[in-house]
A and B are shown apart, each in its own frame.
Chain A
């Protein structure tokens, strides 16, 4: 008979793992909440500060997909540290002047990309202006083979996330890329 103490210990260890795994999606939710206040300050024209004390990120834009009831706040850059909190925007300072890329995790913020359709309207709002795009295409690409080639005309918004959406294992090479064109 295995002692009940051993099983209690095993249960406790499992619990730690469960909590640890739940922390990641929780962080994604929490990030949006914390960025909200920060975003309101930025829209009000107050000098940009970090999202919360000690944080090295701040809200840079707002992404909306009205058809799906999605509204998310974005941070700059696409390194993993930032993407845990919010979708990351590359080219933050000048949408409209250069192509813009937004990346996020498929098992947190960008879960909704699965449901996006050709023709859906996307609104990207920065501190100074607002841009509207219509979804033109969706495709699955192998990140080992392709890099994103950005055009100079600034007419495109690309949303990227991991693919397939329901894969349990992370770290795969496939990416889902949604291309939207400025209206």
Chain B
């Protein structure tokens, strides 16, 4: 029987015989019309392998054609006769000041226009995530160009005006994320250009470890002396070596301001020297010309440090004072994990099962919930509330996390499906219905895509009703309502987690769980002994492995700050003297940045746009901050080029300068790889096409 099915000829003959036996007339008709049974074979393993092979080849081919484009280079390039030339950097200095959760990075670079013509320069710099250049200073010849934060339209107008007048000018625009790019017109022959840019960058804190990462790839690599290691495949090659890329000097220093004692202060990839100072630590990149050891400039610079573990929560205060007021940043760190009790908790999961969650988000949410359930300890209590247009809970009141209860919960979770509208309020009411069990810490974990209409109503409810319950929001999907989720978590003194992809669920949920299972200090209050404008306004709890940062503006200098809270369920209080230690103006800027964010929030809570814009502009202009309404522009008052003198666009053949350094050109088209891959896949696809044609003829 089996061989009939695999051979259409035999099968058709046999069927024809059978039909002939029962109904010869019909069989004749079938023969005359040449009606046959066409059997479709299932995909054979060879076909599957070929299909996979073909897909791999095809994607390789796409990659190969993509790499045919030359990379854009970091640093400065000059345009001359429509030709881009990499400018040679004379030296690079990077100065970093770490202020708690932020680092102020200042990069100085010097370039030389080695041609004898007026050129236009283009400068590119790789920026870290979420960083924006807010300081700019360019020196060309004897002139200085200082960047100023201006209202956006005004900035654009000033730039265009200056360019027409032949003034040295620059408008800073961040066209792409993670990249700073500025153009500079009117650079004279043989002039040295000094570019200084400054930006604030976040210091990452993961599991008690601080990490500061700086890009280094933009610096021309350099080596001590001329003992360059050159890849030399054959010994016959002549001994004359090309001189190393100019006499470029790179200096990097990090001024780490802190009152805490640090442990494990290390650089991941570079050799450093560390000095202790009166206000923290001073770190410099080891000078290769003295140590003789090479520094890798093809790797990012990464500085890692952690704080000396303490028996008590501890605080560090950095301050800044100017004519407008007294600014402070307070960093609060948790004690050692061993000091913290594991307190029984009442965890209430709220899961959004509205129609907008249908499909992948629902699957993600179910999985996130499953991960959460796994982490419960036997002494914990829990409940699950699902909501769409209405809401209902798994148990009438939170149940102890016994095996039986968890098993039941898992089967119910598996059957959750998305349907209906979004009405959050009944779910929250249901969660807060009963007061929490006396010694249990109540935490709500709210899993949703955040598609809510009545945001302000929900906030009001949260502020009024949450009381001691903590709210943690978990956003699901590619584009959740980030702002709402973050703000809801702030109102609930919790944290916000975003899960964008399926494979992130376990990692993100475990991280969330680790943080919230060990609260280090709850109900935190901060008292400066005077009126203070503090951000964030609602101080969140402090969790193990985390740090808490609060910025404040005071009317006069503070001498001490009192911090209170609940440590292991017992009242705790601590007074930290505030020394007159001056950090820098960035303390004020950080505070102003938080204020701008709060104004933005208020706008979404009902503050009219006109008022919000005015308030944000006021703060941004006063503190020199980039915002959605301001831009950085730099104009030199003096015109430097007479309008009659052409700027680098002439077709006059360029004169070679006396001495010139040249970037080596890209040396290959890369067509061979593409051709090879193309031919192989053509062979495979063509072969398969031919084969499928033959089978049809069978």
Contact = CB atoms under 8 A, between A and B. Distances in A.
B671 A21 contact: yes
Interface string A135-164: 011111111111111111000000011111
B618 interface: no
Interface string A99-132: 0010111111010000000100000000000000
B68 A94 contact: no
Contacts of B68: 24, 170
A40 interface: no
A147 B238 contact: no
B61 interface: yes
B664 A137 contact: no
A17 B60 CA distance: 11
Nearest to A110: B667
Contact of B245 (A83, A84, A146): A146
B1 interface: no
Contact of B670 (A79, A98, A104, A170): A170
A98 B661 CA distance: 12
Contacts, number: 228
Contacts of A28: 669
A170 to B, nearest CB: 3
A134 interface: no
Contact of B43 (A1, A4, A136, A175): A1
A46 B233 CA distance: 46
A103 B692 contact: no
Contacts of B298: 144
A171 B666 contact: yes
Contacts of B434: none
Given A11-B685, A11-B686, A146-B242, A78 B40 contact: no
Contacts of B241: 139, 141
Nearest to A137: B238
Interface stretch (B249-257, B472-480, B650-658): B650-658
A179 interface: yes
A171 B689 CA distance: 35
B412 interface: no
A2 B83 contact: no
B243 A149 contact: yes
Contacts of A145: 221, 223, 228, 244-245
A30 interface: no
Contacts of B675: 18, 21-22
Given A25-B671, A118-B238, A7 B688 contact: yes
Contact of A20 (B65, B230, B686): B65
B678 A14 contact: yes
Contacts of B164: none
A8 interface: yes
Interface stretch (A31-39, A65-73, A85-93): A85-93
Interface residues of B, number: 74
B49 to A, nearest CB: 12
Contact of B237 (A1, A140, A168, A169): A140
Contacts of B656: 90-91, 93-94, 97-98, 150
B678 A7 contact: no
B673 interface: yes
Given A22-B675, A93-B653, A146 B696 contact: no
Contacts of B242: 139, 141, 146-149, 177
Contacts of A169: 64, 67, 670, 673
B682 A142 contact: no
Contacts of B654: 93
A105 B298 CA distance: 25
B679 interface: yes
Interface string B660-698: 111111111111111111110110111011001101100
A interface SS class: mixed
Contacts of A162: 666-668
B43 to A, nearest CB: 6
A4 B665 contact: no
A101 B662 contact: yes
Contacts of A98: 656, 660
A97 to B, nearest CB: 7
Contacts of B45: none
Contacts of B661: 147-150
Nearest to A76: B653
A81 B679 CA distance: 26
Contacts of B70: 80, 171
B232 interface: yes
A168 B210 CA distance: 42
A21 B674 contact: yes
Nearest to A24: B671
A150 B662 contact: yes
Contacts of A142: 230-231
B26 to A, nearest CB: 30
Scoring A17, A144, A167 by chain B CB atoms within 10 A of each residue's CB, the highest score goes to: A17
A174 interface: yes
B54 interface: yes
A107 B672 contact: yes
Interface string B37-80: 00011110001000100100010010011011011000000000
B83 A77 contact: yes
B659 to A, nearest CB: 6
A133 interface: no
Contacts of A25: 669, 671
Contacts of B239: 137
A17 B221 contact: no
Given A8-B689, A10-B685, A103 B664 contact: yes
A13 B678 CA distance: 9
Contacts of A21: 65, 671-672, 674-675, 678
A105 B223 CA distance: 28
Interface in B551-603: none
Contacts of B689: 4, 7-8, 10-11
B628 interface: no
B88 interface: yes
A109 to B, nearest CB: 10
Interface in B633-663: 653-656, 658-663
B607 interface: no
B84 A79 contact: yes
B246 interface: yes
A160 B671 CA distance: 19
Given A1-B47, A136-B238, A140-B232, A160 B688 contact: no
A63 B61 CA distance: 35
A174 B665 contact: no
A146 B58 contact: no
B33 interface: no
A112 to B, nearest CB: 14
Contacts of A97: 656
Nearest to B230: A141
19 contacts: A2-B43, A10-B685, A15-B678, A20-B678, A25-B671, A90-B662, A103-B664, A104-B667, A105-B668, A106-B668, A137-B237, A137-B238, A139-B240, A141-B664, A148-B664, A150-B662, A170-B669, A171-B71, A175-B664
Interface of B: 40-43, 47, 51, 54, 58, 61, 64-65, 67-68, 70-71, 81, 83-84, 88, 221, 223, 228, 230-233, 237-246, 298, 653-656, 658-679, 681-682, 684-686, 688-689, 692-693, 695-696
- Nearest first, the 3 closest Cβ-Cβ pairs linking A and B are A162-B667, A137-B238, A170-B670
Given A143-B663, A146-B228, 5 more contacts: A22-B675, A28-B669, A90-B656, A141-B242, A147-B664
